[in-house]
Amino acid sequence: MSSLPEMTHAAATDRVSREALFEGLLRIGDSALILGHRVSEWCGHAPALEEDIALANVALDLIGQTQLWLELAGTVEGKGRSADDLAYLRDAWDFRNLLICERPNGDFGHTLMRQFLFDAYHHELLKGLSASSDPRVAEIAAKAGKEVAYHLERSSDLVVRLGDGTEESHRRMQEALEALWPYTGEMFLRDDKDAELADAGIAPDPASLRPAWERTVREVMTDATLQVPDSTFAHKGGKQGIHSEYLGYILAEMQFLQRAYPGASW
């Protein structure tokens, strides 16, 4: 069932190039998709049943949001590609997710730290997008934002509990923070496409999200007795399609069925 209003379609593409809007939507949708897939790898493996269920539900929210973002991306692109086509039939270099989303899960603490760093960003991003000049973008962001409020609440709580927990859990959380920190800078980098979308009021300028993100991160890390690294080095490239080797493995698993049996459905 799809029902995107045709009249707003023309209006939105007047303000911005079709290419920039398509790319911008892939960046949001692909990050949700790849992180959602990563988190779903925990299904059946989490340290406690409640955590297993919670992780599966977070993954489900992210995949559901992906469906909405990529469906809109396909509409904007105008080549008849569905959300499924975009998810299952693109190669690694066509993906636009942030590199942090494809990082391996590591231990439970590492997964939670990655989730928290992303949730804090995702929450701010969706807040900005819900004021988008493109109503199609705004309505998806408003919907997703309510779900992500719960993701952020949960990951903040757990980062505090594990950081301010035992000596062992504290050590692991500090290690996770240091390992993932260089992957946070990419969230706030802006290129020409980001600038075009920001100028048209379609998406917030990535750099503008940083102060609020940092406030949340520092507040939670203080409660968690964890030390925020000083380094400002940032790995980048995911938004432009330059990925780590990990994405290939994710896609190999995620896309296997559609690649082996094209058009399969059930």
Residues contacting other proteins: total by CB under 8 A = 32
- State the minimum distance, in angstroms, from the CB of residue 54 to other proteins: 4
Query: Hey, what are 164's tokens?
Result: 């301010």
Of 39 and 99, which CB lies nearer to other proteins in the complex structure?
39
End-to-end CA distance of the chain: 17
As measured in angstroms, the least distance from the Cβ of 193 to other proteins is 24
Between residues 61 and 196, which has the closer beta carbon with respect to other proteins? 61
Residue 143 interacting with other proteins (CB under 8 A): yes
Phi, psi of 58, deg, nearest 5? -65, -45
Determine, following the binding rule CB under 8 A, whether residue 82 of this chain makes contact with other proteins: no
Residue 258 has φ and ψ, to the nearest 5°, of -70, -30
96-135 binders of other proteins (CB under 8 A): 135
φ, ψ for residue 259 (rounded to 5)? -75, -40
Residues 6+ apart with CB under 8 A from 133: 12, 15, 200, 201, 202
Q: How far is the CB of 77 from other proteins (least distance, A)?
A: 20
As measured in angstroms, the least distance from the Cβ of 232 to other proteins is: 29
Shortest Cβ 216–other proteins spacing (Å): 11
* Pick 82 or 240: Cβ nearer other proteins: 82
Considering only residues 39-68, where is the footprint of other proteins by CB under 8 A?
Answer: 50-51, 53-54, 57-58, 60-65, 67-68
Contacts of 181 (CB under 8 A, 6+ apart): 228, 229, 231
Integer Cα distance of 247 and 244 in angstroms:
6
Query: Is 2 among the residues that bind other proteins (CB under 8 A)?
Result: yes
**Given the complex with other proteins, which of 147 and 178 has the nearer CB atom?**
147
Q: Using alpha carbons only, give the angle 101, 103, 107 rounded to the nearest 5 degrees.
A: 115
Instruction: Return the structure tokens found at 7.
Output: 């009249």
Residues 6+ apart with CB under 8 A from 9: 75, 76, 136
Q: What is the binding site for other proteins (CB under 8 A)?
A: 1-3, 50-51, 53-54, 57-58, 60-65, 67-68, 135, 138-140, 142-147, 149-150, 153-154, 157
